[in-house]
Amino acid sequence: MLPRMQFGSTGHESTRTLFGAAALGSCTQAETDKTMELIIERGINHIDTAASYGDSETLLGPWIREHRSEFFLATKTGDRTYEAAKASVERSLERLQTDHVDLIQIHGLVDEDEWQTAIGRDGDRGVLAYLIEARDQGLARFIGVTGHGLPIPRMHMRSLDEFDFSSVLLPWNYPMSQNPVYAEEFAQVHDRCVANGIAVQTIKSIARGAWPEDHDRTRSTWYEPLERDDDIESAVFWLLSHPTVFLNTVGDINLLPKVLDAAERFHESVVAAGGDPVAVRPTDEAMQEMIARAGAEPLFT
């Protein structure tokens, strides 16, 4: 079984490997059912979806209705205004067939103008004002913020200055760690979150890079993922060896078992090493060899 860790200050012990339900966006119900059977079999107890992930919320609905108490359920709204966010959250609850989510997140809060609107700096109530009301009404227990791109650590720091978010979500993998500016800013937001009981969720752990323009997209991910088992294992081991972050899986159900297998092997290796996750971290030399062999590069530049 996959190990668990306190999800910030929420009081919930989540599996460090979270199910990223973006992978269900274009699936059938039959594919979703098979994937959810795998999630339950592997002991994952935290699901992360979003209103914008295709049919993900709708496909999850029957499983949430039957297994609600087994999962910490997170979704996201990409809306920035009060009224639009209200409609989005109500629609998500209906799709997910539940009366509340555990975590509602402001999705992709990177753009400056959108940030001003979402936080409510333009004089009108933004999405944050509605999410606070939703929390007070019991529709969501906690509020988080997410984002992509190189500016996101700085934007998360600004968002944390404005509100006591319970979680952040942002990209982190070995190629991105080689960007010294991003690495420093990631460390700043990470350290602030850890010190204040805010969960740090990471995405794009097995991203190889952007899809080449002349390359057929053979996966449902919007980025090109690593494919080889040993490359995926190296990427997952490197990410999970950072003991205070969560790994949000992968946006393709056919790659999901490989990520879960790697996460389980990591846990077994940590146990064999006496419980120290850093002890099984791949060396920089090994990671450099991996990214050279795979042709991996930073997804965001």
Looking at residues 105-123, what average pLDDT do you find?
91
**pLDDT band at residue 112 under the 50/70/90 scheme:** very high
Tens of pLDDT, residue by residue over 192-243, are 999 999 999 999 999 998 888 877 788 878 888 999 999 999 999 999 999 9
Q: For residues 218 and 29, is the Cβ–Cβ distance under 8 A?
A: no
Task: Report how far residue 97's alpha carbon sits from residue 208's, in angstroms, rounded to the nearest whole number.
Answer: 35
Q: For residues 127 and 135, is the Cβ–Cβ distance under 8 A?
A: no
Which residues partner with 145 through β-bridges? 106, 168
Say whether domain 4-211+245-250 belongs to CATH 1.20.910.10. Answer: no
Tens of pLDDT, residue by residue over 37-73, are 999 999 999 999 999 999 999 999 999 999 999 999 9
Task: Report how far residue 49's alpha carbon sits from residue 36's, in angstroms, rounded to the nearest whole number.
Answer: 13
Residue 123's pLDDT is what?
Answer: 61
